[in-house]
Structure 1
């Protein structure tokens, strides 16, 4: 059974950290304001948000590890919101100590590079986490945006019920299973490690940004050859933004690439679902049971 961390109550404390890429403190100002003034929480800022780092990372690996570990271990902190993703979680994940966290689990919120932490939590400890908008989304979309609001609803324990438009490549069907997934690059990166995602009998969701089309093809084949696509209950293809092509064209767009790789399977598949690196990014609880229903006219995903 999946362990679901306690949902938040007014006045609860949310910690904000940057375990990977650097983020200026002012870019989280609107997020902090909304969390405190609009949503009624308290906020603690970690040392890695707007720190003194002059590199791509928010701090050294040791500094990032200590900041995240402190938030995970502090019983007063009820949720950890990542400021941004980027790259760097792979430096930390094997050194994190989950002893206290397992006794008092809390929501870890993020996407992109944070996918590796989501998969690690799920595959090793069966603890749910939130693949959801991060601090920067409060600037880009505005906190009244439906996708940022889906984060608030998830933290408060309201059950999700999402709808999406039909897509010509969708494969109709229905599935009820635990929902797992995240950024395609990180899912492929985790194969063969302690963070490898269990997918058999699950609904898998994937998304990505800024990749060459041939690399999407390669990573999808990596999942396929590793057996991660064969026995799914269902497959959700999210946004693949800012895709790049080579000088000699690859010859297919990203959704056609994916469709060609999974067309032999008979589970329901939907494309262009609102989970992505753009503002179209619904909060999804990793490991929680969802119902996916794909019809010719629409897609529904609900807890």
Structure 2
């Protein structure tokens, strides 16, 4: 029996042909894709009014025949929904929300309210299962197969990473975080991100020059978002422009100095080709050059 999933568009507008291509990719992997029509009622750069996007999100979680709710894309707009969500209604469904980038804010608040969440590729990216070079198609296929497996049961997954300088060889804590710019944009608002005690905070971004990344991280550090974290782990920073020869890891490590947080790099999580899924809030264990997320 196919695994049925509900699509939602909680953030920016997506070209219909890109959505159709993503649906074909998910169907090629054996998923059955459902969504309430119309999926989008474009408003400015958004997929619809706040009311439309909220109604769609609630309907997707209410559908008794689907196993997960999958965001079509990120962009901007997810934060507008948080205070209008009936979290007890979502928690009763016990099915995960999947996405990343702008969807980071929803993943974090799902975790706070006992709703499962998976930081992973958005639905439109499934087009890569059928399009592009063969080796790239295989990478995308594996990532979506891992995501589909996580929907069905909490399968342990193992990820490469590299300790930066004197970072501990072993560490354990809940895995949280997501898009750096999105998290920084919440500082000083009622939605502000606060890393749980002992957490491993994963950060990623796309298309930002290094000075903007440093500014966003400075906001998190000095806004108290990372006060209780145990470490920061860097995912991919696709298309982020460097300044001179200074590597991003050095900038991040320097910015983290007031907190004394160890730094790890090289996680295949974020924008770009490599974006493996991980369960938001699950326990992560760092051992040497591997991160295992298993419960």
Question: TM-score scaled by structure 1?
Answer: 0.83
1:20 corresponds to 2:11: yes
Gaps of 5+ in 2: 131-136
Q: Which residue of 1 aligns with 2:241?
A: 244
What is the Cα deviation at residue 180 of structure 1? 0.7
| Pairing partner for 1:207 from 186, 204, 218 | 204
Partners of 2:148 and 2:10 in 1: how far apart?
Answer: 22
Between Structure 1 and Structure 2, the one with more helix by share is: 2
SS, match of residue 76 in structure 1 = coil
Q: Which residue of 2 aligns with 1:101?
A: 90
Query: Map of 1:163-178 to 2, 5 A cutoff?
Result: 163-164=159-160, 166=162, 169=165, 171-178=167-174
What is the Cα deviation at residue 265 of structure 1? 5.2
Partners of 2:145 and 2:286 in 1: how far apart?
Answer: 21
| Pairing partner for 1:262 from 256, 262, 273 | 256
Matched residue count: 285
After TM superposition, the structure 1 stretch with the greater mean CA deviation from structure 2, 141-150 or 152-161, is 141-150
SS, match of residue 180 in structure 1 = strand
Q: Which residue of 2 aligns with 1:190?
A: 186
Query: Map of 1:117-136 to 2, 5 A cutoff?
Result: 117-123=106-112, 125-136=113-124
Q: Deviations over 1:276-300 (max 9, x none)?
A: 111211101111112122x3xx233
Partners of 2:292 and 2:175 in 1: how far apart?
Answer: 10
Q: Which residue of 2 aligns with 1:83?
A: 72
Contact 1:137/1:148 (<8 A) preserved: no
Contact 1:17/1:48 (<8 A) preserved: no
Contact 1:172/1:269 (<8 A) preserved: no
Partners of 1:48 and 1:208 in 2: how far apart?
Answer: 30
SS, match of residue 93 in structure 1 = helix
Partners of 1:178 and 1:100 in 2: how far apart?
Answer: 25
Change (3 A) 1:112 1:164: same
Q: Which residue of 2 aligns with 1:7?
A: none
Question: TM-score scaled by structure 2?
Answer: 0.85
Q: Deviations over 1:232-274 (max 9, x none)?
A: 22321111122236xxx57734222101122465554211211
1:151 corresponds to 2:142: no
Q: Deviations over 1:6-25 (max 9, x none)?
A: xxxx4443111111111123
Gaps of 5+ in 1: 1-9
